[in-house]
Amino acid sequence: MTITHLGTGSRGNATLLETPNVKVLVDQGFSGNQLKKRLNLLGIEPEEIDCALISHHHGDHGGGACVIQNKWGIQVLANERTALELGLDPELTSYFSALDLLRIGDDLTVLPVPVPHDGSDNVAFVASHGGERAAIITDLGSWTDELITHVRGCEHISIESNYDHHRLVNGPYPYSLKDRITGRGGHLSNEQTGQFLSEVCTDTTRSITLTHLSSKNNRPHIAESTVLYYIEEVFSGDLRISLQDGPEFSHYIGKDATSPTSVETRI
């Protein structure tokens, strides 16, 4: 299975999961033109996408879901609240509930796991292929024991590392927004992401991607060094950071997995 972030951040999020038999988007927060441009960098046309999974209805994650339905007839899988909030086409929408095991094609299953995030029924996704698992977790202000159970020991983990606490507290945002971001329904700080990863990383965890970094309240080197401080005892694999203007690299898990490959090399 290949995991490629097409871009992560407040201006849009989408991740491509590929197996030998299917191509699946996790979230679609881009315009149709942007999505096509980013997929084309991978040598893929939008019409090749089998379906899209939407984590929640916020625009940077689901705002482009109707576009792919209307433009390319792509099937979208979402929970009922997300589908209603986004105004998805019922003819091209399949509904799931939290912890429903979704079977996509012959070689991919995906488990949606609920996570705390304000104003949405947000889920993380744990994808399984060939006996190995990849977790994609974004937009959460805290975590649950249930999430830890399902993510622990995944071969790959993508998770938001949204803000540096010092930069946020001393930054220009109004106090009400700072309270929202730091609350249980907000986003994870670098420290929180490190703490969560320290609980779920095992010897089988080979790669981590930090996503959804705030352009105002974080910096890649701060996120990386803070997270590594918490996981250096339990993780010795590859740590990468996905930014807004992707795709930049792909991670591979499976029996023949190799080191992460840049988009340029892959093409």
| pLDDT confidence of residue 266 | 36
Domains in the chain, CATH or no CATH each: 2-255 (3.60.15.10)
Give the model's confidence band at 241: pLDDT under 50 very low, under 70 low, under 90 confident, else very high. Answer: very high
What is the DSSP-derived secondary structure letter of residue 163?
B
Q: What is the distance between the alpha carbons of residues 214 and 216, in angstroms, rounded to a whole number? A: 5
Question: Using one digit for the tens of pLDDT, what is the confidence trace for 164-204?
Answer: 999 999 999 999 999 999 998 899 999 999 999 999 999 99
CB 254 within 8 A of CB 130: yes
- The pTM (predicted TM-score) of the whole model is 0.94
Does the structure show a pLDDT above 60 at 154? yes
| Cα of 212 vs its chain's centroid, Å | 8
- Supply the pLDDT for residue 261: 59
Of the chain, the percentage scoring pLDDT greater than 70 comes to 95
The position carrying tokens 């993380």 is 124
Q: Hey, what are 228's tokens?
A: 């590594």
pLDDT in tens, 201-236: 999 999 999 999 999 999 999 999 999 999 999 999
Rounded-to-5 percentages of helix, strand, coil across the chain: 30, 25, 45
